[in-house]
Chains A and B, each alone.
Chain A
Amino acid sequence: MAAIPVYRRPYVNTQPEYFYAPYHSTAKRAPSQPLIIAPQTLSEVTGPLFGHGDVAPDDNDLTRQHAGAPLGERIIVSGRVLDENGRPVPHTLVELWQCNAAGRYRHVNDQHDAPLDPNFTGCGRALTDEHGQYQFKTIKPGAYPWRNHYNAWRPAHIHFSLFGRAFVQRLITQMYFPGDPLLAYDPMYTSVPDERARQRLISEFDWEHAVPDHAIAYRFDIVLRGRDATPMEQ
């Protein structure tokens, strides 16, 4: 028998439940049976690891993927990937995707009556450095309507996907912008019961990484599940 690391469960109310009535699509897609609570095994505490071969150097610059510059407000989005114990998660893959400045995704099913931007795809990838730091350059995404309820609008947001070191740390989330009046009415945002956990989804305006005469910046730190102090024998 060998010892494996074990990852703590998130604190109560810091994650959304599967069923959340105000977000109507959860009604037909959330499981109705309770989840089976299971111990972590080697299968859960390992996970895919990525390296520089998986990411091209320019993959983190969404403003340089076409012949021209995309329309919109250029921004730097950077931050650290940490675990609950405050330890940086180095060399981990960060993927992001978003709509353009007008609020339109480059996706065939997005029928919002807003223009596509031929110079903007809206996807990027990066690896964190040895300190868990990542950085992207992009444009600020627009708000857009959706059909969840009458006059429903999503606040401006950027989708993030993270792997960490173990599959049990896998996370897909969304980053929001400070001061957005739409947040209070957004069922995605309000699905997180704990107020502090909700606020963690809002990036901070970031002078430190702003580039004079070029781009302002936002900071978004991401926290993944952390290891327990005591490994488990198995």
Chain B
Amino acid sequence: MSLLVTASQTLGPFGAISFEQTQIADVAAAGAGGERVTIRGRVLDADGNPVNDAMVETWQANAHGKYAHPDDAQEKPLDDQFKGFGRVQTDSNGVFRLATIKPGRLPGPGGALQAPHLVAVVFMRGLLKHLVTRIYFPDEPGNADDPILKLIPPARRATLIAKKIAGEQGVLEWNIVLQGKDETVFFDY
């Protein structure tokens, strides 16, 4: 038996009536383990204009590299203060902000270790289906061997690696550029 997957349709301009009530901008509860980090970014269209009606969702493992999910069979501890799901909207300047912890490493294809990362998906008016990308961390030795980053032409890998911000401890910048120069890498899984 094989049914047709329901087609994606756009979030549209008014999704905020539902999602502003269910935002999760603080992904890690106060007691969650791991290094605290705030990810701040902008969503920009082909002309460099801010997208003020986007929703960004993130999913990540805990500080041990373990997902709060039964299909993660790794023998690593769960953290009952950490679920791993974030949901934020862009403001009138196209800016979003997410406070979380840096996840641990976990296995990838062929037994290669993946570098710490968040999965990020973005929805908005003008996207008939959501875009899927990843947020990686700066100065992370594992990035060089990450099996997913390796799939990307080297010149474009930097679009997925968040940047430190001078003078702002614990804050990383990671933008979503939909088109053009510095276009973010998006995946088809």
Please give the residue numbers on chain A whose beta carbons come within 8 Å of chain B beta carbons, in ascending order. Answer: 1-2, 4-5, 7, 9-11, 14-18, 20, 23, 25-33, 35-49, 82-86, 95-97, 99, 105-107, 109-110, 121-123, 125, 159, 161, 165-168, 170-174, 188, 191-192, 194, 196-198, 200-201, 222-226, 232, 234
Contact = CB atoms under 8 A, between A and B. Distances in A.
B174 interface: no
Which of A27, A167, A196 has the most chain B CB within a 10 Å cutoff? A167
Interface in B119-145: 119, 121, 123-131, 134
Interface string B84-101: 110000000000000000
B111 A29 contact: no
B5 A174 contact: no
Contacts of A224: 5-6
A164 B119 CA distance: 16
Given A14-B4, A232-B109, A234-B107, 9 more contacts: A28-B126, A29-B178, A35-B188, A38-B187, A85-B1, A123-B18, A161-B18, A197-B4, A234-B110
B111 A1 contact: yes
B81 interface: no
Contacts, number: 239
The 8 closest A-B pairs by CB, nearest first: A25-B126, A29-B126, A46-B69, A48-B85, A16-B128, A97-B18, A35-B188, A174-B9
A168 B189 contact: yes
A26 B151 CA distance: 26
Interface residues of B, number: 75
B121 A36 contact: no
B1 A122 contact: no
Given A36-B188, A84-B2, A200-B7, A28 B179 contact: yes
Nearest to B59: A167
Which of B6, B45, B59, B187 has the most chain A CB within a 10 Å cutoff? B6
B126 A30 contact: yes
B127 A30 contact: yes
8 contacts: A1-B107, A11-B5, A15-B8, A23-B128, A29-B179, A30-B127, A85-B2, A95-B18
A95 to B, nearest CB: 6
Nearest to A50: B85
